[in-house]
Structure 1
Amino acid sequence: MQPTEPWSPGWAPASWDYSGSGALAELELCPSGDLPYGYAYIPALYLAAFAVGLLGNGFVVCLLAGRRGPRRLVDTFVLHLAAADLGLVLTLPLWAAAAARGGRWPFGEGLCKLSSFALAASRCAGALLLAGLSVDRYLAVVRLLDARPLRTRRCALAACCGVWAAALLAGLPALVYRGLQPLPGGGGSQCGEEPSDAFQGLGLLLLLLTFVLPLAVSVFCYCSVSRRLRRPPHVGRARSNSLRIIFAVESTFVGSWLPFGALRAVFHLARLGALPLPCPLLLALRWGLAVATCLVFVNSCANPVIYLLLDRSFRARARHGLCRRAGLGGRRVSSASSLSRDDSPVFWGRPHGANTLSCVL
């Protein structure tokens, strides 16, 4: 365990402080220390998430962006969700290097601001895209007949463009307030935020608008979908499997981001003086933030793993892609999926009657 340092709730790390070790102004000095051996296993975890997330999300983007023919609405949201995860994944080596150096940021202020911006924008985009995906599933299952004018490719693209515009706006505070800040004891600089009470209020507002509100929308939609699925006439097996995959993606996102968002809200309130906390609890919150940060980064590589485990057609496409790159022989198999259907799994093959290559394993 590293030596203890003075630490207090004078000002919290940035709205999305992914180092989990921001320096705080001295309103009330509290002894603190980093997680035991965190400088070793946290960077290793970040780099593992980077490798899996880069390959998995890159494959999803290539698979969906390169698909010929008509595309379902759900594919549009899944494609943009993978792109948002890629934006987060690409910053992981930088944060891993900083974690290995005890929080010291060696890449300069420019990369500090850009990395913080990418993280804030990617998190916002992920939450809003999942909310959009839940609304699409709600319309497809609960309001199928009434929602036909809304469930068009143009509307889906417009929704995704709106999501990215909101995500870029949500990331702007990171460009303004994030930068190199001195570590306690003069041991170098970290990538943190400038001390500003106004930014703490802005952070709480962003948490409400870009996490709590989309989460509430998703919960309402999926509760409505679940009630509909329990009533006859029952939906087909393929659509049920598609919904199961999307439920898993949503649940993983909430499970990864909810602890971090809750802890960030506590730190914002402590900074604003609305929630006085004793030193032991402050230390527990700091360690909890470090663990929650790991969950956040692991989530960036979770979706391709979910597709691989739950979607048979995705496994087939992944195996085919690996075999083609390896130059192995293959045999032709017929795909029973239809590009015109909206109730097939998240990933499917070519139109009915088309042939694809599959490895002989």
Structure 2
Amino acid sequence: MAKSHHDYDALPTDAHAPPFRKEMRVVATVIIFILLLEVIARIIAPHLDYDREHIHRFPEIIENLEQHAKESAKPRVVFFGNSLMMHGLKEEIFHDELKKLNGSSGTTSFETCKITPVGTAMLDWVYLYRRYFESEGSHPDILVVGFVRHHIHDQEAIKLRRLSRHFVAGHDLPDLWDKEQLDFHNITQSSLCNISALEGDQPEHQLGILYSMVPEYQEGVKANNRMVAEGKKQKAKAMGIAPAAEPEESFHRMTRFIETCKHHGVKIIFVPMPQPEVWDFNPDAAELAKNNGMDVYDARQIDGMQESDFSDGYHLGESGADKFSRWLARKMQQIPGPSGVAR
């Protein structure tokens, strides 16, 4: 039966809309939705985990150090690195030991703070320093950098999302692309991560959902990783396969880090951190530091340190942190100059 013109008038407006207009509405809806997610991601970013809380407090921590040093006229010391230094160095114990060492004066020799984002390595530290210290013109007198072997050589894998979002300033992106010879995909990803919390913190959003939705997810992943690693080890042993030769280490990133700090008159104390088993510290890295006037305090074999001083076979526990903090205080108390260091 033929439809009257009244029937056509009753059709929805979208039915008469050109296909292009419909597509643009869909695109606009998607863009608005993504922008809304980005706003939410930026709001929750400083509260995703304790590490993100720490990272977002960097400007405040550094400003407080500057203010306290200005009032006390003491050298500024930043304990720098990752979770090894975060768990291993207890500032209150460090200062308590310094007070004991200073005898009747009962004072501490330094103003200190910690900048220790977890899971970071030398490339992160290069750009972290440039973004939060160099760009702000606020430099410590001493930087105490804790690490184990893989943290300082160029062969350490790049955590590009986190690096680009939290440590590389926008104007330093071309330098990152050039120095690390990134391909088009990585250049695009690092650019997006630098401007987008949704993209840069994506893995943490996913993990947050899994942790909240799946009971014991984190412990399950750890257990699975241990089983897989042990399985590979047993299989290789059964087949008589020798462990793969480790790649030759180079230290271009470390060189850049030293040059930046040296340019601003910052003294670096490199501290190879304790582990349950003594690890090999590449003499080339030690030589690089010393040839540039930096110090190395070797903490790999502190007297009295035992396997029980580690909380998880990697990080120092309470007793280990006490021993390490007092050991470091005794080492730094010997630094020459008024109040511990000449500036």
TM-score, structure 1 normalization: 0.21
Higher Cα Rg, which structure: 2
